[in-house]
Chain A
């Protein structure tokens, strides 16, 4: 059972525009969420996180929104840059922190065109 789903395998945007990556989850025990970025031949790199007590967290060009009632989160990147082209994974934890296991989605390939 896929408890964390990223239904869009890929997304293509123009440089300077907004990229919106979506993630849905089914497990109501999840209370801490993270986004990771992965380049080829490298491990995932942490981008941003959000606790279930918040509905928004912002860090520079990256903003994560959490809608608990819909069990949905999204990552907004604005403005998008060609260097943002990578695979993006959302991940969830049920410990309120990054302790314990993370459950990942399948990933979305983001391509930002110059």
Chain B
């Protein structure tokens, strides 16, 4: 399978705990995106990397959120001190040339108890 891979698929945690998600993009893609999707809504942009450089961050990305892509390959998204409102599907996408669409993984569903 050469698509975008996300791990874990589902994470259940207690409020106040830290969580980390991983995304492995399509190997030849240099762009990597994180989105968040809540029930009944479309995906909302969080942040975007070109290789290892983080180029844009949404205002949705509070101080509790951090994303990294240290070697320009896989990326991690960490949420510290989770809150009930963080419960959502976290989607990763990757992209190659600009005339090619962003390709999405199947997401990590975060449930906060």
Q: Which residues of A sit under 8 angstroms from B45, Cβ to Cβ?
A: 101-103
Q: Does B80 lie at the interface of the complex (its beta carbon under 8 Å from any beta carbon of A)?
A: no
Residues of A within 8 A of B41 (CB): 106-107
Q: Is the beta-carbon distance between B106 and A43 smaller than 8 angstroms?
A: yes
Contact B42 A105 (CB under 8 A): yes
**Cα separation A41 to B105 with both chains bound (whole Å):** 10
Cβ < 8 Å to B, chain A residues 19-45: 34, 36, 41-45
Name the contact of B95 in the complex, choosing from A43, A98, A107 (C-beta under 8 A). Answer: A98
B85: Cβ under 8 A from any A Cβ: no
Q: Is B56 at the interface (CB under 8 A from chain A)?
A: yes
The residue of chain B having its C-beta at the shortest distance from the C-beta of A95 within the complex is B98
**Which single member of B4, B42, B98 contacts A99 (CB below 8 Å)?**
B98
| Alpha-carbon gap, A42 to B44, bound state (A) | 16
State how many angstroms separate the Cβ of B105 from the closest Cβ of chain A: 5
* Distance between Cα atoms of A42 and B105 in the complex (Å): 8
Task: Tell me, in angstroms, the Cα distance from A49 to B102 when the chains sit together.
Answer: 11
Interface string of B65-79 (1 = CB under 8 A from A): 000000000000000
Listed residue (B4, B42, B98, B102) with the most chain A CB atoms within 10 angstroms of its CB:
B42
Question: Which of chain B's residues have a CB closer than 8 A to the CB of A42?
Answer: 106
Please name all residues of chain B whose beta carbon is closer than 8 Å to the beta carbon of A89 when the two chains form the complex.
42-43
Given A98-B100, A101-B56, output 12 extra A-B contacts at Cβ < 8 Å: A4-B42, A41-B106, A42-B106, A43-B93, A46-B103, A89-B42, A89-B43, A98-B99, A98-B101, A99-B95, A100-B55, A106-B41
Interfacial residues, chain A to chain B (CB-CB below 8 A): 4, 6, 34, 36, 41-46, 49, 89, 91, 95-107
